[in-house]
Structure 1
Amino acid sequence: MEPAQVVAALQAAVRIPTVSHVGDAGTDAGAFDALHAELRRRFPLLHRACEITTLSDAGIGRGLLLRWPGADTGGRPLVLMAHQDVVPASHPPASGPFGVNPTAEPGTELRTETDAGWRHPPFGGDVAVDANGRDAVWGRGTLDCKGSLIAICAAAERLLAGGFSPRRDVWFSFGCDEEVAGPSAAAAAAELVRRNVDPVLVLDEGGAVAEQAFPGIGDPLAVIGVAEKGLLSLLLVATDAGGHASTPTRNAAVARLAKAIVAIDARPFPAGVPPITVRLLRTLAPRMKPPLRQVLSFLTGRPRLLAAVLARLGPETAAMVRTTTSVTMLSGAPAPNAMADRAQAVVNVRVRPGESTASAVQRIRRVVKGTGVAVQELSASEPSPQAPTAGPAFELLTSTTAAVLPDAVPVPYLTMAATDGRFFQQHWDQVYRFTPIRMSRQQRQSLHAADEHIAVEDLHAAVDWYTALLRAG
């Protein structure tokens, strides 16, 4: 497959707004159908070679499960994952959270999907230079995670064009609702269980080739997720009588909700270092220059002190050592001149290993006690088990990285975000999270934000990486 065809395929995928929504309300199933048609058109050899199952009973019914038969049908297969859906490009233009229709002040307009600070249209798939002067594809999903979806398909298409046949079965699981913790990935895992599939390796998104990822480390880090944090969504609710805004009452619903939010923000969860993070840091210490090398080596033997230091170095390192909370959605009065009879907010909680969603709920309820705010649990997923960091599966990932991305240092890593891989890890041990795409700090900050983009050369490197993995696997 020619490099220009890979870029064109990603551009086409970005231009199809496969935005997922909670409960499928507002999700455009036709956009996913259009993406499937585009994938068939761009990757005809792959689609001819594979047995294709559409997971029609899960979510919006657009999850894809493809089986590429290998020569050894009795061997343990390889499973590669990516998701088709993306988050919205900006604040919803027509409605607020929880179905409330906000009333704009006279003379103002709500932001639209295309004017929320993006340098290039979020669903335009434009090719334009990045901060380093390199050509890049811009748009929602280029990193999360249509870039890896296209790279996986392009690698298989390239191999098929050369007459390659895999030694073992290869399964491709492309979910349709990862961004809203939907059921398609769980349905895919259940289908593999039903077929008695026992993978030698499951690879999902999660880690990346991260530049400027840790203080004192100049080399890019190929962070391979071997576990992930738990995911908990809570709803804070304050109720009141409401009324006209011209005669406000004290300590109204919005004020009480604000007190609860401030209390949660002011009392972060205690820091603690999971074992996988200690191993990561011990791997990094010899690569640091003095005196940082000696300092980190000293700290890895003193976990409490290490946790305290990492918690103060910045948001990325702090998230490595504690359960985090983030208020993501707010709702109040339905009009600018009305007091809210119900004010609410969603708290997104990422639970570190060693803690549980139940203990996180208990702590937050203690923190907001006395504010008059109720805490309701919306959804919960426990921290995942840890995949092995020794053995053929992990070694395949590290050797492929060394061959294709030789400057990147492979290290095991605790994935901060939730992935579809957690549903697979309920059945199999060898589940890893790694996207072979270089990401600068600026690019990592663009995930779920404006100006998401991938350098063209990094897209091609990802195709090379998946090609090497499929050959070696």
Structure 2
Amino acid sequence: MTAPPVDGRVVGALQALVRIPTVSDRDASRVDTDAFDRLLAELARWFPLLHERLDLTRVGAHGLLFHWAGTSAERPVVLMAHLDVVPVDAEAPWQHEPFGGEVHDSPVGPAIWGRGTLDDKGCVAAICEAVESLLEAGHTPAQDVWLSFGCDEEVGGAAAIQAVGILRDRGITPWLVLDEGGAIAGGAFPGVKAPLGVIGVTEKGTTSLELVAEGRGGHASTPARNGPTVRIARAILRIEKSPFPASAPAPTLELMRRLAPHVPLPLRPLLGRADRLAPVVTRALLTAGPEAAAMTRTTVAATTLSGSPALNVIASTAKAGLNIRVMVGDTVADAVEHIRKAVADDSIRIDVLAAGEPSPVSPMGEAFELLEDCIEDVFPDAVATPYVMMAATDSRHFTAISEHVYRFAPFRMSKAQRQAIHSYDEHIGIADLLDGARWYQLLIERLPH
């Protein structure tokens, strides 16, 4: 087999990774392990020096933990990404084959299209490209660098938990942990032309509840009042009408403050004093749409419904799944109690299927400033800022061993691209992929002695 060309290597590597459908599943028996085996082989083919010179520990079924020894081990760094992807909806109107890894034009220029280009194989390829290039140049990092690539992030991150255990057993306390999350986000805030380099300093907790209503069931021709489906429907409406209390956390207020010079003139005094006018800023965010409102409170979404197995049968059991994103400052217990009060129906059982507390807020000290400096150099038009990440990442598990956990993918992403994550038409601009690899390389080169 001929070696891949160095010119455009990261592009070819990402195309190859996207073409392998490494879909994770909570049921291990449903996972295509051959696909993951093939992906690991492709990584080794495209980035041979990384695999030859870094120590590798296999984590779980297909997770990887590489160790690159630096001149010092005092302040080790962990760069993270994940190898798995979510399934593709066969009915979704993809413009191009979702596992094709094809290059086509897009609004952001020539782009690689396919599941995982942004979430999260783009980061895998860019990190590996940065390391491979530095190895070719004979570079030794100032600090130990660890690469943690999970294989089941989309279904809970068991491999990441194991990686944390391995590092803890080796006495490793990372000075900096960096995972996916934020991006160079265009069109992120109304009236702001500059893209935002949003760095997640925390993330909401992810909790899953199920509402269960039971009854006698029976023939649909003789319905009784207040059956299970009616009670579930009423409960969902009550929850919809009972939003969680709103209060913008410190990272959101700092984001607003940093936006002040870039918003229309009438808003500048308000945002410039966001920390002193928190209630006013919170009210403004609540009226700015669902994305902005989610920055201020715990959110709940009814996502799954189940009832009768047939159209002419009254359900004996009806269920509704709730996905809750717990805001910093709230707890899972707070969220469950809020739902219980909103439902106000003792006949409905509330089952906690999964509970995840919000992550601690990482400080905006030297490690954060290093990320800011790299953003300024590679993306000089962007406004670097902290934010609260709404989704969940593997990095939440690393807060057990590090106080400095951040979430940022160094790629320009339009609003349409961000909406394509976990949806259809996911794609990354080739120029943006190259900039991302350059950003990771700069980060490694600038690790402090």
Q: Per the shorter chain, which TM-score range? A: over 0.9
Distance 2:24 2:180 in 1: 17
Distance 1:49 1:280 in 2: 40
How many residues in Structure 1 have an aligned counterpart in Structure 2?
Answer: 443
What secondary structure sits across from 1:238 in the alignment? strand
Structure 1 unmatched runs, 5+: 91-112
- Aligned residue among 399, 402, 413 for 1:428: 402
In structure 1, the residue matched to 2:102 is 126
What secondary structure sits across from 2:408 in the alignment? strand
In structure 2, the residue matched to 1:5 is 9
Moved more, 264-273 or 237-246: 237-246
Residues 410-429 of structure 1: matches in 2 within 5 Å?
Answer: 410-429=384-403
In structure 2, the residue matched to 1:339 is 314
In structure 2, the residue matched to 1:26 is 30
Distance 1:304 1:3 in 2: 53
Q: Does 1:451 align with 2:422?
A: no
Offset of residue 300 of structure 1: 4.4
In structure 2, the residue matched to 1:200 is 175
Query: TM-score when scaled to structure 2?
Result: 0.94
Q: Does 1:407 align with 2:381?
A: yes
Q: Report Cα offsets for 1:341-372 as digits up to 9, x if no partner.
A: 22222211111111111000000011112273
Offset of residue 25 of structure 1: 4.8
Offset of residue 144 of structure 1: 0.9
Runs (4+) of structure 1 exceeding 6 A deviation are none
Distance 1:426 1:177 in 2: 19
Q: Report Cα offsets for 1:42-62 as digits up to 9, x if no partner.
A: 111111111111113xxxx22
Distance 2:237 2:204 in 1: 24
In structure 2, the residue matched to 1:48 is 52
Distance 1:469 1:298 in 2: 32
CA distance 1:344–1:466, shift in 2 (3 Å): same
CA distance 1:263–1:209, shift in 2 (3 Å): same
In structure 2, the residue matched to 1:108 is none
RMSD: 1.7
- Aligned residue among 145, 148, 154 for 1:179: 154
What secondary structure sits across from 2:355 in the alignment? strand
In structure 2, the residue matched to 1:380 is 355
Moved more, 317-326 or 333-342: 333-342
The code of the aligned residue for 2:253 comes to V
Q: Does 1:16 align with 2:13?
A: no
The code of the aligned residue for 1:340 comes to A
In structure 1, the residue matched to 2:136 is 161
Distance 2:53 2:308 in 1: 55
Structure 2 unmatched runs, 5+: none
What secondary structure sits across from 1:22 in the alignment? coil
In structure 1, the residue matched to 2:67 is 67
What secondary structure sits across from 1:196 in the alignment? coil
In structure 2, the residue matched to 1:465 is 439
The code of the aligned residue for 1:263 comes to R
- Aligned residue among 273, 277, 292 for 1:317: 292
What secondary structure sits across from 1:434 in the alignment? strand
In structure 2, the residue matched to 1:81 is 80
Q: Report Cα offsets for 1:168-192 as digits up to 9, x if no partner.
A: 2210001111112131111111110
CA distance 1:19–1:336, shift in 2 (3 Å): farther
- Aligned residue among 359, 364, 371 for 2:339: 364
In structure 1, the residue matched to 2:225 is 250
CA distance 1:240–1:118, shift in 2 (3 Å): farther
Distance 2:291 2:430 in 1: 26
Distance 1:339 1:40 in 2: 56
What secondary structure sits across from 1:330 in the alignment? strand
What secondary structure sits across from 1:407 in the alignment? coil
